[in-house]
Chain A
Amino acid sequence: MSSRDAPGTGTPNGKSAIDAAAAPCSCGHSHGHQQTDEKRAAEPDPGALISARGVTMWRGSREVLSDIDVDVRRGEIVTLIGPNGAGKTTLVRILLGIEHPERGRIIKPASTRIGYVPQRFEVDSAIPMTVESFLALGEHTTQKAIKAALEETGAAKTINQQLSKLSGGETQRVLIARALLRKPNLLILDEPASGVDFTGEADLYDLIGRLRDKHNLGVLLVSHDLHVVMARSDRVICLNAHVCCSGKPEDVSQHAAYARIFGPQAASVLGVYRHHHDHRHDLTGEPKPLAGASPPGRGS
């Protein structure tokens, strides 16, 4: 489970309980979140490929990430969902070491090898680059390995094309091929379906699922869309600066926080929304106590 489970539960699918209310929120007022130290997963899961503990980040006076805990283990697909500006990409950049959190830490065993697929990879057409030269760039690899990687991601026919001329779906497949050439055990994909049409999107997530099965990869996906991703995830973390809720897709989709962010229609995609509100989000996305809400506690 994401954040607040006792360490060492270990199994990718974990238990089904959702632990949203335990996610602390620094907005300084009491609402459904509970901040109790004994709830904290102080020690990161030793089996995780990567873990974040208490990651906090500010942009100016806005707290974009508030005390985030995340674990990704081998063989599981974890999806970060949340509205625009929820801090998903910032969290990914911190996990990748591109940015450093103001508080909190990232725990990454030396054996973890990350393959990264960035969001919106738009190559400036001023840079001439064939797919083949891109895949060879900075990697000790062979033409055979490049062909095999492209074959595996279903982009074999692009090998001699210019990178800047690829379609959205082809670009993503080429990027995944580049990530695979690094022989990763953890794939991190930021909005892999952006710029891809709906059927292409389903194909792409199928590909990611197949790669996970074949290579026993841990996968961390970022997405703001729901249907296709959630159905294919083992675990969903709903982010809105803080972890609103996390758990199995069917549980999260029924959770109050999720429904408030994405609307009750979204909740009905995978299940029936039947939870009790514990907090709402104002226009800036900050959690606010609900008028007449019950005292802090579990929202469900």
Chain B
Amino acid sequence: MFDWPEPFVWRALFAAVGLAIIAAPLGCIVVWRRMSYVGETLSQAGLLGVALGLAANVDLTFSVILAAIAAAGVLTLLSRQKMVPLDSALGLMHHATLALGIAAIALVKGPAIDLMSYLFGDVFAVTATDLYWIYGGGAVVVAITLYLWQPLVRLSLHEDLATAEGINPRLPRAAFDLLLAVVIAVAMKIVGILLVMAFLVVPAVAARPLSETPERMAVLAGAVAILGVILGLWLSLSSDAPGGPSIVIALCTIASISLLAGSLRRR
């Protein structure tokens, strides 16, 4: 006899599917612009945002967005120095934000904090308010993404060509950092800070071998992410494994199969 899932399962499913749709096109751009590690650094800065939010007693989604934006600003400055390559500078910031975040959370007084839920998310603890954030904020994110899609694709393809053709690279880039920060903050609740970028990057990787155009890749990435969410939640419920990591396992499995099939086909 089939049992209808309980409400918390539905909330988890709706939250994760919403996130999948929001994150897919942004994830493609992250992959095209080789920003996986940048995104990783921004999301770990979110941990610092959690600590500040707890200390200042403000909404954590808000404080995480602020921290990620601040980190994006610092990264822009770091990318101007020419002493060490950008990935090394990112390595510095990535670890600094993680260490500072964990230390800061430990120092913040207040209720006992479950660090694990921030690091790996707790998809089954999603509340109705979270769903408003995901679908309300998500609608804004999707609208801005659609509006900036064409300049972002052109800048990813060839920045000089796009600039020479009249695109000012600054606005789309700044807006993209902002969108990334919002998605990171929202995704933190579901998959956690350490796995946020998987939600962005892995579906795009899975979609690449099946795509001929950028738009198709974005749509397919969304479809892959939704499939991964469903499989992951099912895996989690049937095996008692935590939700966020289960979703990421499912996503990575799909991406691996897609990459493997894609490279075999090209032989």
Contact = CB atoms under 8 A, between A and B. Distances in A.
A116 B165 contact: yes
In this complex, the member of B150, B153, B154, B165 whose beta carbon has the largest number of chain A beta carbons within 10 angstroms is B165
Contact of A130 (B151, B160, B167, B213): B213
* Closest 6 A/B residue pairs (Cβ): A96-B164, A128-B211, A116-B164, A133-B213, A98-B163, A127-B32
B157 A138 contact: no
Contacts of B31: 126
Interface in A119-134: 121, 123-124, 126-130, 133-134
B212 A121 contact: no
Contacts of A98: 160, 163-164
Interface residues of A, number: 21
Contacts of B212: 128, 130, 133, 162
A177 to B, nearest CB: 13
Interface class of chain B by DSSP: helix
Contacts, number: 60
Given A126-B208, A127-B32, A137-B153, A121 B161 contact: yes
A126 B153 CA distance: 12
B253 to A, nearest CB: 21
Nearest to A134: B157
A190 to B, nearest CB: 9
Interface string B96-132: 0000000000000000000000000000000000000
Nearest to B166: A97
A118 B165 CA distance: 11
B216 interface: yes
A118 B213 contact: no
Contact of B157 (A93, A123, A182): A123
A96 B163 CA distance: 8
Interface residues of B, number: 23
A155 interface: no
Nearest to B217: A128
Contacts of B164: 96-98, 114, 116, 118
B250 to A, nearest CB: 22
B242 interface: no
B154 A138 contact: yes
B156 interface: yes
Given A128-B216, A137-B153, A118 B161 contact: yes
A96 B167 CA distance: 12
A138 B163 contact: no
